[in-house]
Chain A
């Protein structure tokens, strides 16, 4: 309760600073500034960068204040502070990052743990995309194949990949191959459905135009249907990557010799809260990084998206 009250107080202070102290300095007299109707006009709502900076600072401030951190100027009264075993101060977590990065944890360095997780995601996702995209295309282009695969895809789609973990462990064990098979299954249906949507989304006049210009079926597929489906495939790939990242961490929580999920699971058994928090933060950063990379790739490879 107290923490929430302090947090709301910090929001108010930050709002007052951005509104009255910073806004007059930073606002540009551009077109948007001349708009009188801004409430309801989403394009006129611009994220205040200052607010974002304050937001991050506020979290560290509260975190530090309630853990007796040396980095924060103010501290909560002794009685309200959290013991390091529940919540270590920020510098303790950072200290852990440094030691595990150099000395390692459970036979593997931090870098090896993270790379293990990332490698599994990339491998599983690529396998899923490699099979899922042709599968989606087949379903979008052929009535028999759509009928054949429809029940399978529609059934597997709502099954959360986490529910497959026990089965994958029974069938394939807990080694690398099993993890990749799980992630393959997690991304396969998403990619198939995205590719099918991409085929369905092609404007008939484009296909007709291509045939009239003398293209063969194969050429229509290669030069019209495939590029036309790219934006949908990228949207699917971003979703699939997100799901895969979540699934790999969960799978490592259950059973693994290394990986980000295994690291925080083992650490939690020994009440090494600093490692757990470090792991959560790194998992978040990597997940965000993967999504950013996918967006960059999308802009490079399908710049016409949304402008047809």
Chain B
């Protein structure tokens, strides 16, 4: 139904010195409704550019993005976004942040209240509804960000390294929460990350991108998201296949990084 179709998308921009950057070159990818997809790659591979195009913040220089039967032309409530950090509104309470989307849409107050209460219970923040944002820890703030995104009931959730700034323990807990929410709501989730482990855990499909020009390098189908949802992530991580995949992908990314370094040296 509402599949997300990335159709031959390219992004080329000019530098002030006349050079050109090929941030993305002919990327095509179809993400089925309800899929969770992680995107991994060394810096400069265009993964953030791709996410910004999906969100509608950037217009590609070539190709199109389709959601269901219409093209993406700008930001819209159908595509929610969770940012790394600092995208919450400090001048609003936790409740007001989560209720922002429905409020902008002019939903009735009682309905917003119900939605917000329910979502804050789901993400484990029942006791923090009236708190100010700056009173919460980093992990709690990202819980608010997740709830705020879900309150709008989007078709697709885009995540730009949402757990990147968290400490290891909090991060693991949040990974579990993301998986559970995905399972529970059946939303399409696209998650960008720097962490190979996180990409393995949170992707039914894992897309590895390569830089210069930014493109899709390899694609994996993985069983771990399905295993981890509602279960124990530590067990998943102990799985022999998990360790094998992690090694495989890590060495692939290492090779890419070395190749970039080599090219940079050759250019000098």
Query: A208 contacts which of B81, B91, B104 (Cβ < 8 Å)?
Result: B81
Tell whether, in the assembled complex, residue B76 and residue A304 are in contact, meaning their CB atoms are under 8 Å apart: no
A211 touches B86 (CB 8 A): no
Q: Which residues of B contact A303 (CB under 8 A)?
A: 132
Chain B: which residue is nearest A208 at the CB level? Answer: B57
Check: A224 CB closer than 8 A to any chain B CB: yes
Among B74, B84, B101, B133, max chain A CB count under 10 A is at: B101
Q: Is A212 an interface residue (CB 8 A)?
A: yes
Contact B81 A209 (CB under 8 A): yes
Q: B75 touches which one: A205, A211, A219, A308 (CB < 8 A)?
A: A211
Q: Taking the complex as formed, is B41 at the interface, i.e. its CB lies under 8 A from any CB of chain A?
A: no
Nearest-CB distance from B48 to chain A (Å)? 12
Judging by beta carbons under 8 Å apart, are A214 and B91 in contact? no
Q: Inside 8 A of B74's CB, which chain A residues have their CB?
A: 211
Judged by DSSP, the binding face of A is helix
Are the C-beta atoms of A219 and B87 separated by less than 8 Å? no
Is B130 engaged at the interface, CB distance under 8 Å to the other chain? no
- A141-200 CB contacts (< 8 Å) to partner B: none
Residues of B within 8 A of A227 (CB): 89, 91
A213 contact from B91, B132, B152, Cβ within 8 A: B152
Please name all residues of chain A whose beta carbon is closer than 8 Å to the beta carbon of B80 when the two chains form the complex: 212-213
Write out the residue numbers on chain B whose beta carbons fall within 8 Å of the beta carbon of A224: 89
A209 and B87 form a contact (CB under 8 A) = yes
- Whether, in the assembled complex, A34 has its beta carbon less than 8 Å from a beta carbon of chain B, the answer is no
Would you list which residues of chain B between 89 and 108 have a CB under 8 Å from chain A? 89-91, 100-101, 104-105
A212 to B153, CA, bound (A): 12
Separation of A121 and B87 alpha carbons in the complex (Å): 38
Q: Which residue of B lies closest to A222 (CB)?
A: B104
Number of interface residues of B (CB under 8 A): 28
* Residue B183 at the chain A interface, CB threshold 8 Å: no
Taking a contact as CB atoms under 8 Å apart, the answer to whether B89 and A223 are in contact is yes
A299: Cβ under 8 A from any B Cβ: no
Q: Which residue of B lies closest to A305 (CB)?
A: B90
Q: Establish whether residues A206 and B75, one from each chain, have CB atoms under 8 Å apart when the complex forms.
A: no
Cα–Cα distance between A307 and B74 once the two chains are bound (Å) = 31
| B interface secondary structure, majority | loop
The answer, yes or no, to whether B113 is at the interface (CB within 8 Å) is no
A99 adjacent to chain B (CB < 8 Å): no
| Interfacial chain B residues near A214, Cβ < 8 Å | 76-77, 101, 104-105, 152
Q: Is A92 an interface residue (CB 8 A)?
A: no
A216 shortest CB reach to chain B, Å: 7
Instruction: Give the interface size bracket for A toward B.
Output: 20 to 34
Q: How far does the alpha carbon of A247 sit from the alpha carbon of B21 in the complex, in Å?
A: 53
B153 to chain A minimum Cβ distance, whole angstroms, is 11
CA distance A289 to B202 in the complex (A): 57
- Mark contacts of B47-88 with chain A using CB atoms, 8 A cut-off: 1 yes-contact digit, 0 otherwise: 000000001110000000000000000111101110110111
Question: Given the complex of chains A and B, what is the CA–CA distance between A212 and B77 in angstroms?
Answer: 5
A250 to B175, CA, bound (A): 64
In the assembled complex, how far is the CB of residue B100 from the closest CB belonging to chain A, in whole angstroms?
5
Does B104 lie within 8 Å of A304, measured CB to CB?
Answer: no
Q: Does B134 contact A (CB under 8 A)?
A: yes
Residue from A205, A219, A302 within 8 A of B86 (CB atoms): A205
Given contacts A303-B132, A308-B134, contact A212 B89 (CB under 8 A): no
Residue contact A205 to B91, C-beta cutoff 8 Å: no
Known A209-B81, A304-B132: A215·B104 in contact at CB below 8 Å = yes
Q: How far is the CA of A303 from the CA of B149 in the complex (A)?
A: 25
> With A208-B87, A209-B83 given, is the CB distance from A223 to B55 under 8 Å?
no
**B148 lies within 8 A of chain A by Cβ:** yes
With an 8 A cutoff between CB atoms, is A19 at the interface?
A: no
In the complex the two chains form, is A208's CB within 8 Å of B55's CB? yes
Query: Assuming A205-B83, A303-B132, A304-B132, is B104 touching A213 (CB within 8 A)?
Result: yes
B134 touches A210 (CB 8 A): no
Cβ of A203 under 8 Å from chain B: yes
Q: Could you tell me the distance between the alpha carbons of A215 and B75 in the complex, rounded to whole angstroms? A: 10
Question: Are A228 and B86 in contact (CB-based, < 8 A)?
Answer: no
A306 to B194, alpha carbons, bound, how many Å?
A: 29
Contact of A212 among B55, B86, B105, B132 (CB under 8 A): B55
CB distance from A209 to the nearest CB of B (A): 4
Chain B residue nearest in CB terms to A215? B104
Interchain CB contact under 8 A, A208 and B83? yes
Given A213-B80, A215-B100, output 19 extra A-B contacts at Cβ < 8 Å: A205-B83, A205-B87, A206-B87, A209-B87, A211-B74, A212-B55, A212-B80, A212-B81, A214-B77, A216-B104, A219-B104, A223-B89, A223-B104, A224-B89, A227-B91, A302-B91, A304-B134, A307-B90, A307-B134
A contacts, CB < 8 Å to B: 203, 205-206, 208-216, 219, 223-224, 227-228, 230, 302-304, 307-308
